[in-house]
A = this chain, B = another copy of it.
Amino acid sequence: MSKVHNFSAGPCILPQEVMQQASEALINFNDLNLSLIEISHRSKDFVAVMEEAIDLVKELLEVPEGYSVLFLQGGASLGFYMSAINLMKAGGSGAYVNTGSWSTKAIKEAKKLGGVQVLGSSEDKNFTYIPKGYTVPSEVDFLHLTSNNTIYGTQFKAFPESPVPVICDMSSDIFSRKVNVADFGMIYAGAQKNMGPAGTTVYIVKDELLGHTGRDIPSMLDLAIHRGKDSMFNTPPVFAVYVSMLTLRWLKGQGGVGAIEQQNQAKADLLYSEVDRNPLFKGTAAIEDRSNMNATFVLTNEDLAETFNQLVASANISGIKGHRSVGGFRASMYNALPLDSVQVLVDVMKHLEQQFG
C-alpha cells in the first residue's frame, strides 16, 4: 500500500521504527519470551524502561537539578485539576491566560479549588491570537498557560515574565522546540502528540513547590506521593510508557530537541508560505502567534471544498479536517511527520490553484 501522510491532530503520527519495535515487544520483550504487557511492572526489565524514559526526558529537555519527572495517567484533562490542587494553597488562587478550549477547561477545574484570575483572553476573536500586555500579580499561587492550542493553531512564541511559579500545559508542543525548564514551576503534557501514544502524561515539577498547600490531596493526585514512589505508586500504564521511551530514544537519535525544532520550523515555513501565497487559502491565526504544530487555514472560496477534499484524499493525505469549532482545515505537523508529507500537501494546494485559481 502507498504511504499515508498523517496530519492527525492527536493521537498522531509516531516514528515508523517505534511502531516496529513496539510491535515486536508485544510478542517477545527483551528476549524474555514474554510480552511487554504480561510482565510485572516491578520486574527489573520494566523498571529499566521507566528509568530510561525519565532519564531521556531529563536529557532532552535539559531538566535542571531540583526537578522531578513523573509518568502518570489521566491526560492533560486530569492535569488541569491536578496541577492546581498541587500548587494552589487552601484559600489561595491561580492566574490563567485563556487561549482556547484547553485553557477554558483548566480554568473550570481550578475554580473548583479556589480563586481564579483570568489575566487575558482571546475569546473575543475565537482564540485566533495569544493575549499579551498583562501583568502577572504576585499574590496568586501560580500562573497557568497552555503553550500551544491545537484547535485554533496558536502558540506562545515567548512566555511572559512571572513573579510566581508558571505551570504550563505543553501537551501539544513538548519536545518540539527548546524551552528553558527553569522558567517553569511545573510542566505537564499528555503523551499523544510528540511523546508517545495516548495513555500516559508526563509531569516535570520543581520539587520545592510541592507539599505546601495545606490540602489533604487524594493520593493519586498528589505529585509528592508519585515522586516518592518513582512513578510506581500504582501500576503504571506500561505500554504507553514503553512507547514513549522508544519515541524519546528516536528523538535523541534525530539529534535531540534543537535538531527537531529546525525540522519543525522548515515544515511550518513550507506550509505557511503556501497558505500566504496561494490566493485560494487563508490562515486563521494571527501571523505572529501561528503554531508550528497545528496550521489552521480555510479556503477563500468554500465552493472548492469538495474538490480540495478529493485531491487531498487522492494524495493519501489523512486528518486535515479542521476542528468543528473552527471549521476549515488543520494540518498538524508533529515531530514524526516528514517534510515530504508537507510537500505533498503543498503540491495539492498548488494543483488546486492551477485548476481553479
**Residues of A at under 8 Å CB distance from B?**
1-4, 6, 8-14, 19-20, 22-24, 26-27, 32-35, 37-41, 73-78, 80-81, 105, 108-109, 112, 190, 192, 197-200, 216, 218-221, 233-240, 243, 318-319
Whether B240 pairs with A199 at a CB distance below 8 angstroms is yes
Whole-angstrom distance between the Cβ of A40 and the nearest chain B Cβ: 5
CA–CA, A221 and B19, complex, Å = 32
State how many copies of this chain the complex holds: 2
Min C-beta distance of A59 to chain B, whole Å: 24
Contact B8 A35 (CB under 8 A): no
**Can you list 9 A-B contacts (CB < 8 A)?**
A8-B38, A13-B38, A19-B26, A22-B37, A74-B78, A77-B220, A81-B220, A237-B240, A240-B240
Q: Given the complex of chains A and B, what is the CA–CA distance between A112 and B218 in angstroms?
A: 7
Shortest Cβ gap from A34 to chain B (Å)? 6
A126 shortest CB reach to chain B, Å: 21
For residue A134, give the distance in angstroms from its CB to the closest CB of chain B: 26
Cα A180 to Cα B3 in complex, Å, equals 49
Q: Which residues of B contact A38 (CB under 8 A)?
A: 6, 8, 11-14, 19
B contact residues around A37 at 8 Å (CB): 11, 14, 19, 22, 197-198, 243
